[in-house]
Structure formats: structure tokens, C-alpha cells
A = this chain, B = another copy of it.
Amino acid sequence: MGPEGTFTQQAAIKHFGHSAITKSMNAIDEVFREVDAGSANYGVVPVENSTEGVINHTLDAFLASSLKICGEVELRIHHNLLVGHNTHKDKITRVYSHAQSLAQCRQWLDINYPNAERVAVSSNADAAKRINGEWNSAAIAGDMAAELYDLEKVSEKIEDRPDNSTRFLIVGREDVLSSGDDKTSIIVASKNQPGALYNLLAPFYKEGIDLTRVETRPSREGKWTYVFFVDFKGHKDDPGIVKVLSELSQNTTDLRVLGSYPKAVL
């Protein structure tokens, strides 16, 4: 997902190594389509940032696709304020970046460039590419983009939180065997009735399974109806989890196991 020089490319390299052939896509949906069609073995998409929370388009893409999650990658995210060679740092009146990155540096921008216009573009790399010709614009992007587009760093590590990290998912067409330290992701829907979420969580509680995340997203079924994205520790073939999933499938209106995959290490 995203042009060369984005953090997603960095995540792909971290997971698959430098010899993997990467292909750039313009949108999360396109990544899913490409992998679904078999034109790529795997896709890499961001799913959650530690400061800004979940990336909704990635969750929604799973609602429209039958792809599986084969892995996750966690990356420490450092942002720079970058300018082209004919821009002086006192002349910056506009800052381009992806909406997520603008949000991750919001307080820094409020203090250092309170009057600069913030323009959300499709990716950090796109922001970096854009500013080369301009004289009063800056971009927020990582080191790879700075190098790729030969930009100057006005400031480094401008993210508001020093532990700013992003989780990426590896999507593919096949299941992954247990590694001994896995996570599993499911989508589950239940009737809109009192106790729905509570009853849905009960089997996990009974089996002592540790939920790592519960996200609520609008379902496609009707206004103000929701589906839940649930992540938990363990592999879908573990006996306790087999039990939980069978219980869930009986008591919910929809259940899809997105996959089990080795837990990311930072």
C-alpha cells in the first residue's frame, strides 16, 4: 500500500527482507484486489497506530474480501519535517502529509507552525514528492521518503509520542500454521440486542483467552448496526480456541476467522 518510500514499504522489507519484489498500490482496496487476483502473493497494509488508533479502511476492506491475515509487523514510526532545497524553514505556510501523520504530529505543529495550513494527501511519500517544486511548503514523512526525494530535514522525530508505532497486517490467500506465539483475528456480528457484546465475549472469558483488541465498525446491513473486529492471543487450532469459535458460531449472526499468525516483535 502506497508509493515507494512509505512506512508500509519499510514494513514489507522488515517482514519479507530486501530481496522480496514489492509493487506499489494507490489504495488499500487495490492491495486486496491484487492479492485476491493472484497478481501478488501477499499484501501489506497498515491497520493501527498507537497514537491515532485503527485505520478504518483496512478493517472495512476485510468486510468486502475473503483474504486472510498471514502475519503482522510492528514498526516504530519517526516523522521528519522535510523541505526542498529552495525552501527556508521560516517561510513554511503549508504542510502536506497523510491525515494519520498530521494527527500524530498535531501538538508539535500547533507549537511550531500554528499558522501553517495542513493538507492531507494520499500518503507521506506523495507529500514528499509534491514539495520539491514549491518554495513555501513542507512535508511530514519518514527517512526513506527524505532520502528518495532528496529533501532536507528541518526537524527530526516530531511525532507527539516517543513510542509512536504502527501495526501492519500481511494479507494472503492461505492459512498459517501455529508458531507457538500467535494471534488470531475474527469478524463477528450479532443481533442488536441488550447484552450482545457481553454474550459474545463470554466464551473467551470462560476459556481464559486474552483479547488484545475489540473494534466496532458500522456493518453494511443497516443504519447504526455494527460488526466487531476481535483480536486475541492464540492460534485458531488451539483446543480452547476451537471451543470458543464453535460456541460463537452458534450464538452470532455472522462469524469469520480472518486468520492466525505469529505475533509481531518490535
Contacts and interface: CB of A to CB of B under 8 A. Distances in A.
Interface in A189-236: 193-199, 201-202, 204-205, 208-218, 222-224, 226
Contact of A213 (B50, B193, B210, B216): B216
B165 A223 contact: yes
Interface stretch (A33-41, A51-59, A174-182): A51-59
A161 B223 CA distance: 9
B198 A210 contact: no
Copies of the polypeptide in the assembly: 2
A163 interface: yes
Classify the secondary structure of A's interface with B.
mixed
Contact of A205 (B195, B214, B216): B195
A118 B122 CA distance: 8
Given A165-B223, A197-B201, A211-B194, A53 B51 contact: no
Interface string A96-124: 00010001000000000000001111100
A56 B50 contact: no
A194 B210 CA distance: 4
Contacts of A51: 218
Interface in A144-174: 161, 163, 165
Interface of A: 49-54, 56-57, 99, 103, 118-122, 161, 163, 165, 193-199, 201-202, 204-205, 208-218, 222-224, 226
- Which 7 interchain pairs have the tightest Cβ spacing? A120-B120, A194-B210, A163-B223, A198-B201, A198-B205, A50-B223, A195-B205
